[in-house]
Amino acid sequence: MILGCHVQMKAPLYVEGSVKEALSYGANALMLYTGAPQNTKRNPIEKLHVKEAHELMKENNIPLSHLIVHAPYIINPANSVKPEVAELAKEFLESELKRTEEIGASFLVLHPGSYTTTDMETGISTIIERLNSVEYYPENVIICLETMAGKGSEVGYRFEQIEEIMSGVNHPENFGVCLDTCHINDAGYDVSDFDGVLDEFDRIIGLKHLHVIHLNDSKNERGQRKDRHANLGMGTIGFEALHAVAANERCAEIPKILETPYINKKPPYGIEIEMLRTNHYDAERLNTL
Ligand code: FE
Ligand code: FE
Ligand code: ZN
């Protein structure tokens, strides 16, 4: 199983520290933000210990395709109301694509954004316009549009909306999808029938475009359009269904990334990854973390 989690990237070791953190959880994949997800302040690439990170990954048989970058959620490419937000999205996306390439990661996860006071169709055309205004698309980086929960005016909570964006971009070879189990549950899909979900995904978008899975339980009932992540087995999806996602052979080559909340201020990832690998759930171990 290719299992990883969201890890920190901070001084002094930066990306090397991220890999170390992932290894400490028994992970063979990882996802990081290149700085605080709430802002666009970033360190120069020379400071990030990229070479050391790659060496450490190689020593531990983790290919670069299991290293994933998540764009900060402050950028909103669907906003057509405030031009300055739109301009920031374009500029930041360009620099983030470059940074992702320099870090050596293949996938940059991006939230499509929220249409705010307009409507879904305006939101989708705004995203397409924004993505097409980006002047530099690295050859080896794929932007993975994340499936969203549909909270507020979020774009991308139906596979059809993601497909519409993907068929409107000028560089389709640079686009793919990140499927978040909590988000699709909240959007109304039945994660406990994951083969059914994959069939629908395949029919509408095409399974070959699926590159990353975010494996999270959800605090909300299916279809609530809320987006609140829960620890594995502590939400409405349940451990059995999430294990079935991790074990599904049709996406065996796709990294599954945990974005579950800390418990008692401690990361649950080591335990959650072990429980997935052994298919043995023990709520007590998480609760007493
Ligand atoms: Fe996300
Ligand atoms: Fe996610
Ligand atoms: Zn979420």
pLDDT digits (tens, 9 = 90+) for 172-208: 999 999 999 999 999 999 999 999 999 999 999 999 9
Tokens of 122: 């305006």
Task: Summarize the confidence of residues 98-110 as an average pLDDT.
Answer: 96
How far apart are the CA of 224 and the centre of ligand 2, in A? 16
* pTM score: 0.96
Q: How many CB atoms lie within 10 A of CB 84?
A: 8
How far apart are the CA of 109 and the centre of ligand 2, in A? 9
Q: Are 157 and 149 in contact (CB under 8 A)?
A: yes
pLDDT in tens, 31-41: 999 988 777 78
How far apart are the CA of 87 and the centre of ligand 3, in A? 25
Q: Closest-lying ligand to the alpha carbon of 213?
A: 2
Q: Closest-lying ligand to the alpha carbon of 108?
A: 1
Tally the C-alpha atoms within 13 A of residue 48's C-alpha that lie toward its C-beta: 21
Q: Which residues pair with 142 in a beta bridge?
A: 107
Helix runs in the chain, H state only: 14-24, 50-59, 83-103, 120-133, 159-168, 181-187, 194-204, 239-247, 269-278, 283-287
How far apart are the CA of 55 and the centre of ligand 3, in A? 31
Please state, in angstroms and rounded to a whole number, the distance separating the CA atoms of residues 191 and 237.
7
Percent of the chain with pLDDT strictly greater than 70 = 100
Predicted confidence at residue 219, as pLDDT, reads 98
Q: Closest-lying ligand to the alpha carbon of 33?
A: 1
Task: Summarize the confidence of residues 3-28 as an average pLDDT.
Answer: 97
Q: Closest-lying ligand to the alpha carbon of 179?
A: 2
Q: Which residues pair with 3 in a beta bridge?
A: 256
Neighbours of ion ligand 2 (CB under 5 A): 180, 214
Neighbours of ion ligand 3 (CB under 5 A): 227
pLDDT in tens, 260-277: 999 999 999 999 999 999
Strands 175-180 and 142-146 turn out to be parallel
